[in-house]
Structure 1
Amino acid sequence: MKIFRLLTPLLLTIVAVFCFAPAAWAFCGFYVAKADTKLYNKASQVVIARNGDRTVLTMANDFQGEVKDFAIVVPVPTVLQKEQVRVTEPKIMERLDAFSAPRLVEYFDPDPCAPLPIFSSKRSLAVAENSAPAPQISDRSLGVTVEARFNVGEYDIVILSAKESGGLETWLTRNGYKIPQGAKQLLQPYIRSSMKFFVAKVNLDKFEESGYQFLRPLQISYQSPKFMLPIRLGMINATTEQDLIVYILSPQGGAEITNYRTVKIPTNANIPVFIKNEFGEFYKSLFQNAYTKEGKRVGFLEYAWDMGSCDPCAADPLTPEELKEAGVFWLNDNSPSDLPTSRKFVPTFFSSNVFISRLHVRYTRDTFPEDLMFLQTANRESFQGRYILQYPFEGEVKCEAGKKYKQSLPKRFEQEAQTLAKLTNWNIQDIRNKMKLSVGNLTYSWWENLVSWFGI
């Protein structure tokens, strides 16, 4: 999230979850690829763990440049004390991203002449911070008060309150924070709402001592009835489109944006098998196409799931220790605390009290005039951005069912081509030209299949 950047703005892994009834689809198949945040040049990530009025907000820093130039200013509802601020490991963001990313799965058609297997499967899908008041250091002429000042990890942090935006802008400038043009008018609404300002910059000595090469995410904890994420300040630096991924962790269910539309990303589509080698470009085009069609001022739901399971698994669910690192503070005895911290495979599925929603917002400085407001719901319906490769049976077929199966394939391939064109706005003829199908030991193009099987 480009919260308020002063100076520079910010193969094959197979999980053993198999479905023996591919015609039913459900949530199954072999996972083969994911569309994570590495696809985007300017993508920010925020984790919001919320229960009741308490929020733990984790902000990943995608800052590029000299660390001495880094600073952020984040509006917060209350004066934060040192106990409410910490640094966390970047790996937590990576884990949440990998677990919830839109994914590609593949199925393989069975021999149409073989007897159908008998298989049935049932799978369940499943605090106020008390601290002593900080000394106040007031610059009365500017109407700015330093409510708290402390150091956390490699960051020097001050908490400010202000009476008017011009004074706050002047104070920040005097204290070495280079404010982008246009900050004054965007600061004013937060001041009118009596919000405070969390200001952090890098302590170069402590950063050097830490041995880290990159800035670690900052995590803040506070209580407020407002469930929101301030993004307007970040638009000062949004000269081009920015992508914001918000992971919302809740004990109740899914979360949605209330002051803008929340739209589910197109999903569960069968697409041509050549996309296996182009999944990143495919998903970027799909998202841009959906973003354009929906009118831009929307948030896209890319994933909603109980953290206790995954199907298909793009990555293991987070362990209780990792969830706590991500800010989840309500874990209790019902949580699977006895699970190992490292797992290559998730053999069982359990119901947890952590539900994750992944929301993807793309914005520019001319869109999203309001901060994002969220609502926690009791909806625990599972959803994921999921795209399907269905490989045809390549062996010899002699039965009548096999002949009908072969005759059905050209229509299926055309439908896949049409679906891909609709999702991405790619040229349909280019898609047809790329479609290849191996049948036995021969390779046919899309058009050659029509000639071979339909005799046209």
Structure 2
Amino acid sequence: MRTRRRVGVLLLALLATQLGSLISPAYACGCGAMIPGAGGRIGVSREASVVRWDGRTEQIAMRFTVGGDAKRAAWVMPVPRRATVTLGDADLFSQLVDLTAPEYRTRSYFWPRHGDWPFASGSRDVAGAPPPGAGEAQVGVVGRERLGDFDVARLTATDPDALRTWLEANGFKLPDGLSTELKPYVDQHWEYVAVRLVPREQGATLGGTLDPLLIRFDSDRLVYPMRLSRLAKTAQSLGLYVLADHRMEPASAIGGNAPEVTFAGRITPKGSVAGLAGTAPVFLTAIDQSFPVPSRIDGDHELRAAAADTPYRQVEYSDELRTAGGIPVWILTIAGAVAVVTLAGLGLGRRLRTRRTR
């Protein structure tokens, strides 16, 4: 049966699954840039992202699963407005996976297939249902907090080279090309969330699933900054959970394969989901998208309300041979047909014998 999909990273509306290389520095991941310390290697095997947007404020809960041999790393994400950063709720992600899980159904078939008697044994077929103004060149630190595994700095920057200066002052080298990709954000007067990932145990390497972060900022549009993923050397995949008033969809594919909605429906939030979205009913949209050639990414994702709040849930089928009382129906049918023919033959023979004796 098809395995469950999911997982993701920041701004937009729900989770992102990102694949990264563990044998080379990972300079791009989802909507941010991951920069290992000198001589280190780090890969992001998964980013999970949930976005809550109410038309005025955007909240992004994200969680990294990383591996490699880096003892520290930096992650930089552009944001359109001044942001606040707190630790998020790890249970949020598992609850959304459960809410958006496919519906499993069983359907029967009449004639035996491979694996059914009298054919050779083997695995049964499983079929899935198809889815229906620049200022001075400087960096300003507007806030800095220690949150779990993270040293979080919130920055303003009027020039990409200023961000380079800040990174280098904190022991990180800005990768070639990242300065160019950051310039459009600088031109639009965006700010940055810069995070140093530092293990709590001295001398330990970064690995496993890190504490989730929750980033909040004002925004009158739902934006997911994907531009920095252009620097990725391997194919990227995006899994996004969006909590909003309506079903949401990307305005364009921004250079990737066509986005696929894997769940859409109105829910009444409970538990950790209610902690992010409140208790009033809200529309949840889950979106998957792949980027086979990251260099083709030509901008940021912007999500908009779909034409209608049409609900959708994936259906996965398990096929089973139709039986009655534990006996395959096809055997009962054939046996019944043979019995009928036999009785009809006996009846016909009896009538013929009766005529001959007259």
Report the TM-score when normalising by structure 1: 0.53
Structure 2: gaps spanning 5 or more residues: 1-8, 10-28, 37-41, 111-134, 338-358
2:47 corresponds to which letter in structure 1? Answer: S
Q: For the Cα contact (< 8 Å) 2:61–2:214, is it kept in 1?
A: yes
Q: Aligned to 1:4, which of 29, 33, 45? A: 33
2:142 corresponds to which letter in structure 1? Answer: E
1:257-272 equivalence runs, <5 A: 257-260=250-253
Q: Aligned to 2:197, which of 194, 202, 205? A: 202
Q: For each residue in 1:315-367, what CA deviation from the matched residue of structure 2 results, as whole angstroms up to 9, or x when unmatched?
A: xxxx6222134x21x424xxxxxxxxxxxxxxxxxxxx122111011113223
Distance (whole Å) between structure 1 residues aligned to residue 330 and residue 153 of structure 2: 77
Distance (whole Å) between structure 2 residues aligned to residue 213 and residue 89 of structure 1: 17
1:142-291 equivalence runs, <5 A: 142-205=137-200, 214-236=209-231, 238-250=232-244, 252-260=245-253
Secondary structure of 2:43's aligned partner:
coil
1:404-415 equivalence runs, <5 A: none
Q: Aligned to 2:290, which of 347, 357, 362? A: 362
Secondary structure of 1:381's aligned partner:
coil
**Structure ID, larger Rg:** 2
How far has the Cα of 1:203 moved from its partner? 4.5
Per the alignment, residue 331 of structure 1 pairs with 279
Q: For the Cα contact (< 8 Å) 1:75–1:195, is it kept in 2?
A: yes
1:72 aligns with 2:75: yes
How far has the Cα of 1:393 moved from its partner? 1.3
How far has the Cα of 1:255 moved from its partner? 0.6
1:300 aligns with 2:260: yes
Structure 1: gaps spanning 5 or more residues: 11-41, 111-139, 262-294, 309-318, 333-352, 407-456
Aligned residues: 272
1:2-81 equivalence runs, <5 A: 2=29, 3-7=32-36, 8-10=42-44, 42-66=45-69, 68-80=71-83
Secondary structure of 1:298's aligned partner:
coil
1:242 corresponds to which letter in structure 2? Answer: Q
Secondary structure of 1:61's aligned partner:
strand
Q: Aligned to 1:373, which of 267, 287, 302? A: 302
Q: For each residue in 1:83-129, what CA deviation from the matched residue of structure 2 results, as whole angstroms up to 9, or x when unmatched?
A: x322123332122124324455323469xxxxxxxxxxxxxxxxxxx
Distance (whole Å) between structure 2 residues aligned to residue 215 and residue 91 of structure 1: 13
How far has the Cα of 1:233 moved from its partner? 1.4
2:62 corresponds to which letter in structure 1? Answer: M
**Percent identical residues:** 20
Q: Aligned to 1:385, which of 307, 314, 319? A: 314
How far has the Cα of 1:66 moved from its partner? 4.9
Secondary structure of 2:35's aligned partner:
coil
Distance (whole Å) between structure 2 residues aligned to residue 398 and residue 248 of structure 1: 47
Q: For the Cα contact (< 8 Å) 2:73–2:198, is it kept in 1?
A: no
Secondary structure of 1:239's aligned partner:
coil
1:392 corresponds to which letter in structure 2? Answer: L
Q: For the Cα contact (< 8 Å) 1:297–1:367, is it kept in 2?
A: no
Distance (whole Å) between structure 1 residues aligned to residue 294 and residue 215 of structure 2: 26
How far has the Cα of 1:383 moved from its partner? 0.9
1:107-126 equivalence runs, <5 A: 107-108=107-108
Distance (whole Å) between structure 2 residues aligned to residue 354 and residue 93 of structure 1: 17
1:427-446 equivalence runs, <5 A: none
Secondary structure of 2:66's aligned partner:
coil
Per the alignment, residue 351 of structure 2 pairs with none
Q: For each residue in 1:278-321, what CA deviation from the matched residue of structure 2 results, as whole angstroms up to 9, or x when unmatched?
A: xxxxxxxxxxxxxxxxx94321111112224xxxxxxxxxx622
- After superposition, the Cα gap between the structure-2 partners of 1:381 and 1:178, relative to the gap in structure 1 and judged at 3 Å, is same
How far has the Cα of 1:377 moved from its partner? 4.2
1:90 corresponds to which letter in structure 2? Answer: A
- After superposition, the Cα gap between the structure-2 partners of 1:47 and 1:67, relative to the gap in structure 1 and judged at 3 Å, is farther
Distance (whole Å) between structure 2 residues aligned to residue 365 and residue 301 of structure 1: 21
Secondary structure of 1:194's aligned partner:
coil
Secondary structure of 2:71's aligned partner:
helix
RMSD across aligned C-alpha pairs, in angstroms?
3.2
